[in-house]
Structure 1
Amino acid sequence: MAPFEKWFLSSSKESLENYEAMIGGMTEMIKRHYHELKSPYTHIDVDELSNLVNRSVYFSEYEQPLEDLFDDVQAVVLDHSLHISHPGAMAHLHCPPIIPALAAEVMISALNQSMDSWDQSPAATYIEDQVIDELTKQIGYRSSSSGVFTSGGTQSNYMGLLLARNEYCHAAFSIDVSEEGLPLQAKKLRIFCSEKAHFTVRQSAAQLGLGMNAVVSVKCNERHEMDIENLEEAIREVKAQGNLPFAVVATAGTTDFGSVDPLFEISELAKKEGLWLHADAAYGGALLFSHKYRERLKALERADSITMDFHKWFYQPVSCGAFLLKNSAMFKHIQLHADYLNPEEDEHVHLVDRSIQTTKRFDALKLWLTFRAVGTNEYGKMVDHTIETAKQTAEHLRKQRNITVLNDPYMNAVVFRYVPDTLYVDCQKQQHYENKLNQLIQQHLYEKGTFIMAKTKHKEQAYLKLTMLNPMITVDTVATQLEEVVALGKELEKKEERLRERSVIG
């Protein structure tokens, strides 16, 4: 046997047996754990968890028995992770991974393709290219479009604004930013997005050297969508100040409400004003496959660039996203050729020519296997089912005496709050009390481990949020879990009453 052969995949018996022992052992451990799983989370005190990690996580000098490794993984990782595949976990845009994609991850890790140059990933390069082509067809882009898989929405939003900035500087100032750097006028460049847009718009502006002050926040309407009249007014004001509008970001699925900005109206205004339109469909891109709600992405194809996250509503393991571009020629703004990697004269497809990443995973395999195994028809039913479940849940909540629902679910997010019977004369004190109460409800239920919700704020008021991505969630189960919210709210109110009584007596 060659030295070290058991530790690497090869044709040898020792290699394949060790691979089977490691992968098979992990698979059996996961199967056992999920067979016995009763709740999404088992709480442990932070100090206790830290001590457990300190005892188990170290570099051993010599080979350790697999049984010891598996015991530590079970005790440290499986026993104390948040299990998002459990229907009780519905806090964030954090999806249960679909089984075909989990199977794909096994092959992705074994083949370990690097998706920068063709010679490192010959089949994988063309598979990713074809999957991108399938996505652009779903969007309604023409054959001149293109795209690339990314680590997620942060990278995709950054790429959209990077290309928008460089194209504007080239057209307006005849400056190649990649070669010459930013022009003096860059401090006047402005980006528009709604007040509910993802924070990565501001983050991207900062990283692009424009500063967060370059982002103009546009007020939303009562449906939490960018208000088109407010956008028009904001553009007029920016131009009157002598500044330079160059891009607008339309959100197709806000984090809290799942709202979709008016894509058609924004695209018309962007065309009139000569603005690059980037659509952040990290959340809402799944509606492309919906049987009932696809029209909610009407005019998405008018965007110059699009963000889509598959590790949200497409049920892909983290990380898995894509950046789609209407005019593939715009990738010229990030291309740089290296003789050892992607020489300019080479005729092969090199995905590094479309990416700000060099080494990149073969994540396209996950999405391809998912749609081959499940089918777009079944997947579309999953999308619709989660929206219907969210709508029914919101309707159930509206019937509860101590609950206020903030939104009519446009996707599968429900935002609500517990409203106590306890009243303070002072309005500020009342708001502080109600906010603290809702935050405590979320925290207590998280620590109990049975019902995992998120918390958010709207107009200085604290709210609870259900992000109902999991198609295994049922209305009946959620109704039972929501009884815990009300019961806990009542219990916390009684504690507050006792504290007030003691304060008066004191």
Structure 2
Amino acid sequence: MTLPGRTAETVSAPTGSPARAHLLHTGNLARYREALADGVDRVARRVATADRPFTGITPDALAPRVAGIDLDRPLGDAGAALDELEDVYLRDAVWFHHPRYLAHLNCPVVIPALLGEALLTAVNSSMDTWDQSAGATLVERHLIDWTATRIGFGADADGIFTSGGSQSNLQALLLAREEACLVAPAADARRDLLPRLRVLTSAVGHFSVQKSAKLLGLAPDAVVTVETDAQRRMVPAALRREITRLRAEGLVVMAVVATAGTTDFGSIDPLPELAAVTEAAGVWLHVDAAYGCGLLVSPTRRHLLDGVERADSVTVDYHKSFFQPVSSSALVVRDRRVLRHATYHADYLNPARMVEQRIPNQVDKSLQTTRRFDALKLWLTLRVMGPDAVGALFDEVVDRAAGAWELISEDPRFEVVTRSPLSTVVFRYLPTGRGRELADAANLYAREALAASGAALVAGTTVDGRHFLKFTLLNPETTLEDVGHVLELLAEHAGRYVRERTATDLACQVG
């Protein structure tokens, strides 16, 4: 509140309190605007002038610059701090907006989401309770309902925003564990049951399943992998056999984790068939759609997620295929009642009486307490662009990946793995003749040399024990010309490695 006759812009900070001049309050809004505008301008200049996704700087080269900064001696000025930041961060940042960044599941971000980021950090709402968030709680809940409808869940669905796919998967498995333990409510019976709980997932599923099992106190061998077919999709018959085998051994299958968009291959498990297996067995089905959730808004490919509506829980990562800044993820459940397993009432925060008063406290269903209003970014994106426009962007990158697969499969220098329904292409440079035994080393070298040059960034993985390269396309600005250029660079690096190694080996044999 300002004094009568004075505007918020003219109220100054109390004298003798220089630190308070840096707080956002009615007396320093001009400083706030100036500092943020300066930061935005610097990022804009970097985006405008970035001619490659990375400078290729090494940790050894950058570490001394960062370590040499004395954090006990402040610069006192935002402009000076930004000048310094140019040297230790912005100059050598990895730019996901660049069309030759083809490495990981990092997307360029849409401007409405960046607007949301600026707003949510300034207001700094905390999403744990109504009295810290007010309308933000309702916005988040509405977005969860919208996502649940897109999935195909009914009116009983609910969910919560999370920090990312790993946390969403962890909470899903926590809920599944607690549901499985309902058959053993006594403490001693529960203690006997925990070591017998098992989780089934694809052999190419996300590592967070194994990490979650460890965090949940399950046995070291609790996660059982199920074989995949030639398209790297979980085989339903194999899942059925594993459930039968485990139960015959006296073990309890607490959950099956299907994947809609594996990290390496972009493969989508056959969801309707897997749902039929889990429904018949009475087992919790979780669908990790962290990557494939963009299909929920695709104008042309929504059918690829058919069957997801039969899951008990679904992970969605808006910061992968909805073009949102990190972090923006959610766990959505078909039956809101299961979220009670994440509820704990604290007298100082969310006492049980608030439930009777119908006060919507989001902490009642979250693993986190303090939590950012990340939902605002998606809200503004949908209100400015609409879901069809977001889906069209995702369709573009899937189309581009299909073109890249065709391009690579027709190039005799490369070997390409199964075709993805999403935007991932796994391939490798394949030397001819005696150089073929150098294929693994050549592909490793090519990826590292390309990264060191900064001209492009690609990922790597192993397939059946051999080293492969991987394109993950999430930038609609990436063209087939960009893909072709990166392939030429990879072939050049790999070919040079093979030639030099072959020459060295021959020289050693002659010597």
- Shorter-chain TM-score: which interval? over 0.9
Quote the offset at 1:173 in angstroms. 1.6
Per the TM alignment, residue 182 of structure 1 is displaced from its structure 2 partner at its CA by 3.9
1:457 and 2:462 aligned:
yes
**1:202 matched to which residue of 2?**
210
With over 3 angstroms needed to count, the CA separation of the structure-2 counterparts of 1:62 and 1:51, relative to structure 1, is: closer
The offset of 1:301, in angstroms, is 0.8
The residue that corresponds to 1:64 in the other structure is: 76
Paired residues of 1:219 and 1:230 also in contact (CA < 8 A): yes
Aligned amino acid, residue 123 of structure 2 = L
Q: Which residue of 1 aligns with 2:162?
A: 150
Matches within 5 A, 1:309-348: 309-346=317-354, 347-348=358-359
Please say if 1:297 is aligned against 2:305: yes
Partners in 1 of 2:250 and 2:74 — Cα distance? 67
Q: Which residue of 2 aligns with 1:26?
A: 39
How far has the Cα of 1:66 moved from its partner? 3.3
Query: Of 467, 491, 510, which residue of structure 2 is paired with 1:505?
Result: 510
Match of 1:453, SS state, is strand
2 CA distance for matches of 1:420 and 1:181? 59
CA distance in 1, matches of 2:88, 2:73: 21
**Partner residue, 2:264:** 256
The amino acid that maps onto 1:76 is V
Looking at structure 1, the residues matched to 259 and 60 of structure 2 have their Cα atoms a distance apart, in angstroms, of 40
SS of aligned partner of 1:38: coil
Tell me how far 1:48 sits from its aligned partner: 2.1
Aligned equivalent of 1:108: 120
Alignment of 1:351-430 (within 5 A): 351-423=362-434
Q: 2 CA distance for matches of 1:485 and 1:48?
A: 24
Preserved CA contact (<8 Å) 1:169 1:183: no
Identify the range of structure 1 (204-213 vs 322-331) with the bigger mean alpha-carbon deviation: 204-213
Instruction: Read off the aligned partner of 1:440 and give its amino acid letter.
Output: Y
C-alpha distance in structure 2 between counterparts of 1:32 and 1:156, whole Å: 36
1:438 shift after superposition: 0.3
Secondary structure at the residue paired with 2:434? coil
SS at match of 2:457: coil
Q: Match for residue 11 of structure 1?
A: 26
Structure 2: gaps spanning 5 or more residues: 1-12
Does 2:440 correspond to 1:435?
A: yes
How far residue 62 of structure 1 moved from its aligned partner, in angstroms, is 4.8
The share of aligned pairs that are identical, in percent, is: 36
Task: Tell me the equivalent position of 1:80.
Answer: 92
SS of the aligned residue for 1:311 comes to helix
Letter of the aligned partner of 1:29 in structure 2? R
**Which residue among 217, 220, 231 is the counterpart of 1:223?**
231
Aligned-pair distance for 1:45? 3.6
Q: Is the 8 A contact 2:291 2:320 kept in 1?
A: yes
Distance 2:384 2:63 in 1: 41
Query: 1:119-130 residue pairs with structure 2 within 5 A?
Result: 119-130=131-142
Aligned pairs, how many? 493
For residue 255 of structure 2, give the secondary structure of its aligned residue in structure 1: strand
Given that 1:257 and 1:410 are in contact with CA atoms closer than 8 Å, whether structure 2 keeps it comes out as no
Aligned-pair distance for 1:292? Answer: 1.4
* Root-mean-square deviation (Å): 1.5
How far does residue 181 in structure 1 lie from its aligned partner after superposition?
9.3
Q: Structure 1 length as normaliser, TM-score?
A: 0.95
Is residue 194–residue 219 contact of structure 1 (8 Å, CA) maintained in 2? yes
Q: Which whole-Å CA distance do the structure 2 matches of 1:191 and 1:154 have between them? A: 15
5 Å-filtered alignment, 1:153-232, equals: 153-170=165-182, 172-175=183-186, 182-232=190-240
Tell me how far 1:212 sits from its aligned partner.
Answer: 3.5
Name the SS of the counterpart of 2:120 in structure 1: helix
Q: Residue 247 in 1 paired to residue 252 in 2?
A: no
- Which residue of structure 2 aligns with residue 448 of structure 1? 453
Distance in 1 separating the partners of 2:479 and 2:454: 18
Rounded to whole Å, the distance in 2 between the matches of 1:142 and 1:223 is: 31
Structure 1 letter corresponding to 2:386: G
User: Does the CA contact (< 8 Å) of 1:203 and 1:212 recur in 2?
Assistant: no
User: Aligned partner of 2:107: which letter?
Assistant: C
Contact 2:431 2:498 (C-alpha < 8 Å) held by counterparts: yes
How far off its partner does 1:142 sit? 0.8
Q: How far apart in 2 are the matches of 1:274 and 1:45?
A: 51
Deviations 1:189-244, CA, capped at 9 Å, x for gaps: 11111101101111111111113301110000011000011111111111121111
Deviation of residue 155 (structure 1)? 0.7
Q: Which moved more, 1:2-11 or 1:93-102?
A: 2-11
Structure 1: distance between partners of 2:41 and 2:113: 18
Please state whether the residue corresponding to 2:101 is helix, strand or coil. coil
Structure 1: how far apart are the matches of 2:369 and 2:257?
26
Residue by residue, what CA displacement relative to the aligned partner does 1:377-426 show, whole Å, maximum 9, x if unpaired?
Answer: 211111111111000111011111210110212100000000002426xx
Residue type of the alignment partner of 1:124: A
Larger CA deviation: 459-468 vs 472-481: 472-481
SS at structure 1 position matched to 2:42: helix
1:36 to partner: Cα distance: 1.1
2:40 aligned with 1:39:
no
Q: Secondary structure at the match of 2:68?
A: helix
Task: Quote the Cα distance in structure 2 between the aligned partners of 1:273 and 1:377.
Answer: 37
* Structure 2 CA distance for aligned equivalents of residues 116 and 64 of structure 1: 34
Q: Residue 253 of structure 1 aligns to which amino acid in structure 2?
A: G
CA offsets per residue over residues 431-476 of structure 1, 9 Å max, x none? 5x21111000000001101110001001011100000011111112
Give the distance between the partners of 2:57 and 2:293, measured in 1 at CA: 36
| Matched AA of 1:286 | G
Contact map agreement 1:422 1:493 (CA 8 A) in 2: no
